[in-house]
């Protein structure tokens, strides 16, 4: 009897979220192996006939062959048969098709867009983008818009399969592509960065602003065939890895002479949040900074405990309330029964279960003056409503929402502050996993950007708005210097950027890259660096960290260069070249070397700026190195929260190094009986995994323990969380 009592006592003392390490995760259900998927296969080195290869895999159907954007093809079939293809020696990689989302008046002059029009090219033309072909892969374009009809020259609709890339209309209408196009080349009431550039638009994202890897690859393929000079992709997923098909395709496009520009993502402010195609090594990845603008803040608390919190107005709602002082109440999830005391008050509402539009509408009907929606997962976000809201609404992070809930009494004050040259909180950060490459490469205005939308104008936030500033800048540089290569474009923009600061300290390189673009200075660059940022990698033979860089003098006269070593720190010895001279048109390869005593350095990731003097001119290059491979777990950051529609849920988790296999096993909380898999994914990519789980895929209502596991190279990591399904 004693033995039985001891056993029961130990069991009851376990934490509620604990699942014993001895609990066996059952074999994956056959339904996952039989599930039909679309995948992208890339040839190893030499192209082969996909038809010949697929004869050995009769259940797989050939969909598309890619010869420009990628050396490969797309297929459709059962997951277990796709997995067999991965073992074929003629194939270097097979990736399941992912979902990509379409995550100026003051911003254009702020980056030098007006000033550069005072410069002329060799044909004595003002720099306006004339004659430069800019491709846009997005949701389409309203080419009837009065500010865009002169700029639009053609395109293709990959969603509907025709030559009419018009934005979707109706209940599932889109506006993202038109907004992006206006930033690049609006030429009417608004003037974009390059108002006389020629726009070629490829609609790869359909209703809801979503599209697949396959559609985006097709669009890149068409852009290459159309010989565009610049290609903008204000889209992405949350997978942080350098080797995804879209990232590879942009690397290849750059090799073919196309300057590719990609948004860095809107999953900040944490490290490692950059997603593909912002992870492409040769594309210009763009983060978001603030242009000179009034931004709303909330001040809450008293005396020394007073906090000032930035908020992000929801697009489609009324302008935010300036100098509002009054009561803030907890509005729960924004359901009508939770808003009975909302009249003439500002309401704090948690994200989830119902849409933003419903939350705002419910608050308006209850007589609220404004709505604040805080996130239900870590970090901040920004939202949009299609139908014009009757009251002001804004978003803030989960952490700041909880802080406001603790502020009693709920009395707040809103203020408007002039902000400029700050990295937007939502802007994704690097570095890229596995390669430790610095991303973003550069930042541009991406907050409160007013541009064209179907039949009108609207201000939006996002790195989607920052990227077209750089695409437009590249169009101007291409007009000024038709012979510049994509690598020279990238170097000119990065080496002339201005580094931004937060509270007198520079942002990290993996937050801002080289800094905020200065277009007029970029047009005058004549020293180029390949690459324009440095990742110092461990040299086992020399026991040092090294990076090689090529410096090119493209001017018509000799130039003198010297490298200034970074400030000395304990345990660090830099070895850089002495002063040297490059004749006109000459190149030189130099090696930067760092000897490091790892016992005296604790940080896993270190970064800064290396200074190269070109005569009296100072040029800064961002650098980064790791003391050791960051000791991250195989899986982290699991969140399971209500979705934006009733009865749906969504989860997110982060795989820093990817996984051979990832899954979420559910166990009944009261009995620890296995209840099934919430999800399972083979060969899971690096980075953030976020998925909506429809109610049809959920187990019965109740309390569960979720065991989230990731297996890679023989090692398995698990995290365990208690979740509720209502």
User: Which domains does the chain possess?
Assistant: 2-27+632-725 (2.60.40.10), 35-97 (3.30.70.80), 101-119+126-291+423-520 (3.40.50.200), 293-418 (3.50.30.30), 526-626 (2.60.40.10)
From 81, 103, 138, 487, the catalytic residue: 138
For residue 317, the tally of other CB atoms under 10 A from its CB is 23
- In the residue annotation, 434 being an active-site residue is answered as no
How far, CA to CA in Å, does 530 sit from each of 437, 491, 590? 14, 7, 11
Low-confidence ranges of the chain (pLDDT < 70): 1-35, 45-46, 97-106, 302-305, 408-409, 539-542, 600-602, 628-633
Report the pLDDT value the prediction gives residue 45, as an integer from 0 to 100: 67
Residue 1: per-residue pLDDT: 37
CA distance 289 to 246: 25
Which residues touch 5 (CB under 8 Å, ≥6 apart)?
Answer: none
**Beta 392-396 vs 370-374: how paired, if at all?**
parallel
DSSP string, 554-621: -SSS-EEEEEEPPPP-TTEEEE----EEE-TT-EEEEEEEEEE-GGG---SEEEEEEEEEETTEEEEE
What tokens were used for 620?
């800064």
In a 3-state reduction of DSSP, which class is residue 668? strand
Which residues have C-beta within 8 Å of that of residue 502, sequence separation ≥ 6? 422, 423
Please tell me the distance from the alpha carbon of residue 121 to that of residue 526, in angstroms, as a whole number: 15
Q: Which of 289, 464, 532, 620 is catalytic?
A: 464
pLDDT at 3: 35
pLDDT recorded at residue 611: 93
* Whole-number Cα distances in Å, 659 to 80, 682, 705: 17, 8, 22
Q: Tell me which of 145, 151, 176, 620 is the catalytic residue.
A: 176
Distance of CA 122 to the CA centre of its chain: 37
Is residue 459 part of the annotated active site? The answer reads no
What local confidence, expressed as pLDDT, does residue 23 receive? Answer: 57
Is the Cβ–Cβ distance between 130 and 172 less than 8 Å? Answer: no
At 631 the pLDDT is: 52
The whole-angstrom separation of Cα 373 and Cα 360 is 9
Residue 20: predicted pLDDT: 42
Residue 196: closest CA among 206, 205, 188, 204 = 188
Residue 607 is among the residues annotated as catalytic for this protein: no
| Average pLDDT across the chain, whole number | 85
DSSP label at residue 446: -
Q: What is the pLDDT of residue 599?
A: 72
pLDDT of residue 630: 60
Per the structure block, which two tokens stand in for 538?
């461990």
Q: Residue 369 carries which DSSP code?
A: S
Q: Which residues pair with 707 in a beta bridge?
A: 665, 720
What CA–CA distances, in Å, run from 210 to 101, 128, 393, 426? 5, 32, 25, 20
Whole-model pTM: value is 0.77
Distance in angstroms (rounded) separating the CA atoms of residues 615 and 559: 7
């Amino acid at each position: 009897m004693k033995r039985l009592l001891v056993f029961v006592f130990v069991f009851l003392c376990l934490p509620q979220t604990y699942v014993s390490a001895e609990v066996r995760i059952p074999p994956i259900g056959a339904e996952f192996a039989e599930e039909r998927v679309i995948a992208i296969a890339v040839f190893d080195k030499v192209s082969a006939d996909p038809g010949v290869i697929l004869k050995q895999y009769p259940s797989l159907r050939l969909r598309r062959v890619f010869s420009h954007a990628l050396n490969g093809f797309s297929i459709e079939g059962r997951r277990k048969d796709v997995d067999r293809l991965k073992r074929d020696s003629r194939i270097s990689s097979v990736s399941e098709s992912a979902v990509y989302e379409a995550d100026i008046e003051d911003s254009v002059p702020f980056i030098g867009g007006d000033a550069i029009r005072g410069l002329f090219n060799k044909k004595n033309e003002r720099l306006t983008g004339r004659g430069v072909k800019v491709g846009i892969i997005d949701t389409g374009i309203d080419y009837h818009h009065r500010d865009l009809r002169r700029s639009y020259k053609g395109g293709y609709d990959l969603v509907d399969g025709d030559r009419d890339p018009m934005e979707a209309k109706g209940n599932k209408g889109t506006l993202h592509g038109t907004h992006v196009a206006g930033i690049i080349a609006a030429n009417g009431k608004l003037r974009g960065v390059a108002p006389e550039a020629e726009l070629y638009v490829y609609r790869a994202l359909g209703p809801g602003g979503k599209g697949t890897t396959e559609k985006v690859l097709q669009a890149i393929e068409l852009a290459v065939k159309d010989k565009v000079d610049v290609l903008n992709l204000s889209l992405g997923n949350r997978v942080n890895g350098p080797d995804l098909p879209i990232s590879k395709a942009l690397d290849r496009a750059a090799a073919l002479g196309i300057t590719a520009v990609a948004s860095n993502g809107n999953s900040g402010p944490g490290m490692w949040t950059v997603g593909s195609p912002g992870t492409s090594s040769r594309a210009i990845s763009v983060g978001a900074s603030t242009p000179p603008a009034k931004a709303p803040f909330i001040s809450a608390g008293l005396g020394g405990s007073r906090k000032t919190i930035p908020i992000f107005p929801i697009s489609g709602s009324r302008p935010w309330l300036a100098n509002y002082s009054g009561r803030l109440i907890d509005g729960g999830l924004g359901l009508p029964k939770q808003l009975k005391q909302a009249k003439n008050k500002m309401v704090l509402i948690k994200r989830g279960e119902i849409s933003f539009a419903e939350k705002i509408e419910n608050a308006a009907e209850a007589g609220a003056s404004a709505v604040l929606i805080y996130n239900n997962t870590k970090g901040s976000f920004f939202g949009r409503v299609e139908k014009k809201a009757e009251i002001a609404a804004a978003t803030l992070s989960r952490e700041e929402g909880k802080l406001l809930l603790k502020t009693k009494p709920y009395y707040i004050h809103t203020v408007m502050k002039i902000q400029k040259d700050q990295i937007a909180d939502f802007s994704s950060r690097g570095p890229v996993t596995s390669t430790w490459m610095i991303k973003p490469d550069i930042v541009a205005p991406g907050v409160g950007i007013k541009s064209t939308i179907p039949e009108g104008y609207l201000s939006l936030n996002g790195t989607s708005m920052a990227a077209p500033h750089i695409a437009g800048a590249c169009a101007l540089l291409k007009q000024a210097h038709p012979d510049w290569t994509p690598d020279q474009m990238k170097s000119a923009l990065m080496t002339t950027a201005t580094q931004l600061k937060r509270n007198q300290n520079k942002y990290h390189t993996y937050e801002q890259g080289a800094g905020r673009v200065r277009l007029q200075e970029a047009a005058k660059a004549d020293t180029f660096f390949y690459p324009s940022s440095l990742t110092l990698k461990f040299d086992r033979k020399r026991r040092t960290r090294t990076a090689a860089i090529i410096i090119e003098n493209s001017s018509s006269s000799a130039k003198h260069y010297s490298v200034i070593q970074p400030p000395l720190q304990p345990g660090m010895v830099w070895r850089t070249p002495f002063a040297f001279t490059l004749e006109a048109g000459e190149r030189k390869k130099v090696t930067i070397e760092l000897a490091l005593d790892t016992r005296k350095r604790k940080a896993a990731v270190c970064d800064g700026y290396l200074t190269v003097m070109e005569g009296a001119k100072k040029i800064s290059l961002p650098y980064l190195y790791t003391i050791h491979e960051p000791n991250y777990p195989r899986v982290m950051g699991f969140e399971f929260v209500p979705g934006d529609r009733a009865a749906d849920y969504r989860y997110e988790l982060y795989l820093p190094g990817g996984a051979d296999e990832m899954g979420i096993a559910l166990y009944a909380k009261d009995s620890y009986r296995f209840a099934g898999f919430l999800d399972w994914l083979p060969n899971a990519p690096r980075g953030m995994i976020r998925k909506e789980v429809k109610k049809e895929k959920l187990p019965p209502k109740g309390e569960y323990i979720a065991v989230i596991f990731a297996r890679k190279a023989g090692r398995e990591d698990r995290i365990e969380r208690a979740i509720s399904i209502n």
